[in-house]
Structure 1
Amino acid sequence: MPRLTDQGLQKISDLAQHYGVSADAVMTLLQALLNSKGMMAQFDHRELGGAGQWMPGGMTMVGDMFNHGLKAKVDGLCSELSQILALQPFVSFPAGFQSQSQRQGGGQQEGGHDVLDTGSVSLFVPETPGRASGEWWPAELGFPNGTGAQNQVRYAYFNQKRRLAVELNGHVTVYDTLDHQISGVSQRQGRGGSLTLTSQHGTVIVSTLPVASVDGVQTKAPEPPVAPASEPYRPDSAQETDLFAKIERLAELHKKGILTSEEFAAKKAELLSRL
């Protein structure tokens, strides 16, 4: 999914509040509509009755088939989202879809819910000029070694750069993969579950990796720990003080040539052995 603008995130929040569902449920329907170019929405979310399907014109199926209130909620959400998507300049939809969606004027009712005024909403951040469509990760990372998507999460792995880009709800977080050679990515059970990596070190939770950037903004590298200044050795007793004094005198004798190197080393070792 293209990255959402601040205005787009606010619209998702407004729709969630208006229909009494979470933002994640709204994002699920938005992604489903994008996947089908607005022709339909196949989704699976517990707040929306599990697996279901929506098509323009009033065809709505939910897991709880006799829950007409839930059907109306799904129909209202999908109708409003499709209307917003049809007005986005960066989303390609079939001819005639826009006029079909625009017939749902603000102020009408859709399945028992008042339709929010969609107005002119800039939902997605425009693609960077010169980049291929669908390249949602930061341009400086180049071409990924592998990509994938699970539920509402997308990821791209860059082996040479030692980076893993993860997109969730329109926000892109780039992680430093350190020395991990990634061979697989999986998501823990449950919607919004954390991603895990498979590497030569075993299973690694992505959230434990250092964050390199968020939405293109570099994070400050942690300051390296400052090693405490080493303190000079202080003898703990008069005996030790006397031994070190003797070693210093031996060093002077060695320097003057009175003691050979072998004699100095032997005497020094003998004194140190008494510590």
Structure 2
Amino acid sequence: MADEPLRADIQSAADRMDNKLGAKREIRKLVEYLWQGETVRHMVSGTYGGGTGLVVLTDRRLLFVKDGWVSKTTEDFPLDKISSVQWSSGPLTGKMTVFASGNKAEIINVGKQGGKVIADTIRERLASGPAYPPTAPVQQAPAAPAPAQPQQMTQDEAFAALRQLGELRDAGIVTPEEFEAKKKELLNRI
């Protein structure tokens, strides 16, 4: 799996990263978290909610991915829901604060160069209006395994997928009906 080449947009963004510390696994797994047709613009490592992972700016959203061995965490902020972004830097790293739909998220230990580029890109988008297409409906939910994958899941994998699906439901990305249907499917695969 580590020998598998990255998608061109992901490779290009990874090549521009100043530091990949704590985000190499997330870079390799990123394609699993992207929506169909979504394009990666910039990436940087950072810490959010107690975990170090990958901050990704796509053409549709700002996404934080922590793909650990034991747990997986994702948080996304659709670009059309972001009202502002703040950037402050220290000697080695910086802090990005994202305001979206009445919520505030702080991502710390962000690489200085990459973090500033992401913050500036979001600010440019906010100043010029919707330069990117509006957030598309979820076409490929991260919790939904591709049909080519084995049908059976371990109990831990199913529960991790359910947690992730619940986060998507709570964020309003997945409807309660979609959640219930996918939950039933996941439980049947144990």
> TM-score normalised to the size of structure 1?
0.22
More strand by share: 2
Structure showing greater relative contact order (alpha-carbon pairs closer than 8 Å, 6 or more residues apart): 2
